[in-house]
Amino acid sequence: MRKLEGCSLITFYILLVTGKLSAEFVYPNVFNDTKRDSVLFGQFPEDFMWGVASSAYQVEGAWNEGGRGESIWDSFTHNSDEIYRHDNGDIACDSYHNVDRDIRMLKEMGLTHYRLSISWSRLIPDGRSINKISIPGINYYNYLIDNLVEANIIPIVTLYNWDLPQALEKEGGWINNATLSAFLTYAVVCFQNFADRVPYWITFNEPYMFCVHGYGNGSLAPGTGDPGSGPYQCANNVIRAHALAYHTYDDHFRRRFNGKVGLNLNFDWYEPKNVLNISDVTAAETARQFLLGWFAHPIFLNGDYPDVMKTLIREQSLQQGYNISRLPEFTTEQKDRIIKTSDFFGISHYTTKLASVLMHPDDDIVTPSWSHDANLQESVNASWPKTNSLSNRVVPWGIRKALQWIKKEYNNPAILITGNGVDTSGAIDDQDRVNYIKAYTNEVLKAIEDDGVNVVGYTVWSLMDSFEWDFGYSLKYGLYRVDFSSDDRARTPRSSAQFYAQLVEENGFKSSACLITSSKKLTLLIITSIYLYHVLIDP
């Protein structure tokens, strides 16, 4: 047991006696720091939002039905070799034809919220022609939203979950600032048709992902790679498009519908590889600014990118022979439009990584890129539990650190955790996912109760197995299993769906579920009392 300081020990003792804290651990062989990793019993705030998430291209299918236009993901999956087994979202979970079943699943888990996304090209096939709006597209989302409302499930709607209409990509996509006006047209169509029933809007989901991987290294659609500049040009336009949509909602819809508009940003936690090494501490902080600060600093703080990004990218651009920084600058007018354009702070958090400084051998010929600009060397601790795909490790305490950091950095905003989950082998009895959700939500509870972080909701990624981008159908993130070989894409609840339903029903962790037995508790009380006596009274 790590040595506890006097006052922490008293807190620990009180929590133990009152039955709020158990000396049980969700991952006992790896994370067993009594103070940090013990299960905390308690409840989430009364109006806490409990949900699950999905996105249009990943679940809908019906890629060419109802007048839907082609999106970059149709084009990418049909033409690229980047996708596992050449899978695609042509049918996916066929949610386009399974609305009733999907809503039954949400009801089965007793959820209060469902985060879904709208397919831009299903509504406006060519991305921008207002006179070509697809009526079947509007009808589909009306049916889905109406039925959610009828089931008392509040929709959280994402406008853009990576699926740009292909017609706009042909003109440069997010690299072309003409895409901003098309996005605004699309956002207005969505607000006009659905805002009467949708109180939460997410303009963009995880722009880091599609800017760095879509317009940088090319592993996601549209797969056009200019790793040195593409990500920054994309992000610049996305931030401005977000602000445009926000102001338009403010000016024309807020008074009538009183909804909230925000965006969803990636924030896996970066921990210094060696917390005692100052360059690792700096590397981790720089990585946080490059990942989250890139978008959050302009939108939540001052309309501009973090200083560390401006400095590093400029320095490296000049060294690489560019005349100016590869990071675009916002004009004063743009900055004013960008500041404070989010009503909540949406984050996706899946894992934690270790950060250290990237070493460049002198003779290294470097391709400019986001990770090179950030000077970032990522690694993991080999002891951290693996997920099925090995790509992410399970590090529950990372989410609490991430939440604490947001609170401090951005003046305690209302945080909505819009994506958190894990891929498993696909088994119906998915205890690994149960453990992951239990441990991560428990850390969220600690952040709320002990650190005063204002977390307002949590949605699991994902409602069901779906098309996982470049991994095709090989990653299984679903609380429900989907049988992709059956015509009706049959859905079956996993153990995690049952566990999540209980968590939602109890709105937290009841001490009756306390795994700690009375005799264990007594033993712990005796040991703690002896320890307390020696530390405080007779040191």
Say if CB 165 and CB 178 are below 8 A apart.
no
Task: Please say which residue, 90 or 304, places its beta carbon nearer to ligand IFM.
Answer: 90
The one among 60, 70, 94, 206 contacting ligand IFM by CB under 6 A:
206
CB-CB neighbours of 456 under 10 Å: 18
User: CB of 204: closest distance to ligand IFM in angstroms?
Assistant: 11
SS3 content of the chain, % helix, strand, coil (to 5): 45, 15, 40
Q: Exposure of 160 by Cβ count < 10 A (0-12 exposed, 13-18 middle, 19+ buried)?
A: buried
> Token pair for residue 366?
């470097």
CA distance to 344, 413, 453, per residue, from 457 (Å): 10, 13, 12
Residue 420 binding ligand IFM, by CB under 6 A: no
Distances (CA, A) of 144 to 92, 103, 156, 314, 317: 17, 8, 12, 47, 48
Within 158-187, the residues that bind ligand IFM by CB under 6 A are 161
Whichever of 12 and 120 has its CB closer to ligand IFM, that residue is 120
In the complex, what is the shortest distance from the CB of residue 165 to ligand IFM, in angstroms, rounded to a whole number? 18
Size of the site for ligand IFM (CB under 6 A): 9
Judged by beta carbon, residue 259 or residue 419, the one nearer ligand IFM is 419
**Which residue from 38, 55, 166, 233 is in contact with ligand IFM, where contact means CB under 6 A?**
55
With binding defined as CB under 6 A, does residue 368 bind ligand IFM? no
Contact residue for ligand IFM among 114, 120, 208, 461 (CB under 6 A): 461
Give the C-alpha separation, 101 to 286, whole Å. 45
Q: Which residues pair with 481 in a beta bridge?
A: 492
CB of 117 to ligand IFM, least distance (A): 9
Q: How far is the CB of 391 from ligand IFM (least distance, A)?
A: 9
Smaller CB separation from ligand IFM, 55 or 334:
55
Residue 468 sits in the site that holds ligand IFM (CB under 6 A) = yes
CA pair distance 127, 134, nearest whole angstrom:
11
Which residue's CB is nearer to ligand IFM, number 229 or number 459?
459
From CA 271, how far away is CA 250, in angstroms rounded? 38
Q: What are φ and ψ of residue 489, in 5° steps?
A: 50, 55
Least CB distance from residue 101 to ligand IFM, whole Å?
20
Instruction: Tell me: does residue 419 bind ligand IFM (CB under 6 A).
Output: yes
**Phi and psi at residue 526, to the nearest 5°:** -65, -45
Residue closer to ligand IFM (CB basis): 286 or 348: 348
Q: How far is the CB of 511 from ligand IFM (least distance, A)?
A: 33
* C-beta closer to ligand IFM: residue 55 or 325: 55
- Cis peptide before 385, with omega less than 30 degrees from 0? no
- What is the greatest pairwise CA distance in the chain? 82
Question: Which residue has the CB atom at the shortest distance from ligand IFM?
Answer: 419
Q: Please say which residue, 55 or 375, places its beta carbon nearer to ligand IFM.
A: 55
Question: From the list 166, 348, 352, 528, which residue makes contact with ligand IFM (rule: CB under 6 A)?
Answer: 348
| Least CB distance to ligand IFM at residue 348 (A) | 5
Distance CA 118, CA 111 (A): 20
CB of 457 to ligand IFM, least distance (A): 16
Q: Is 226 in the site for ligand IFM (CB under 6 A)?
A: no
Instruction: Specify the DSSP element, H or E, that contains 419.
Output: strand 415-420
3-class SS letters over 5-72: CHHHHHHHHHHHHCCCECCCCCCCCCCCCHHHHCCECEECCCCCEEEEECCHHHHCCCCCCCCCCCEH
Which residues form the interface with ligand IFM (CB under 6 A)?
55, 58, 161, 206, 348, 419, 461, 468, 477
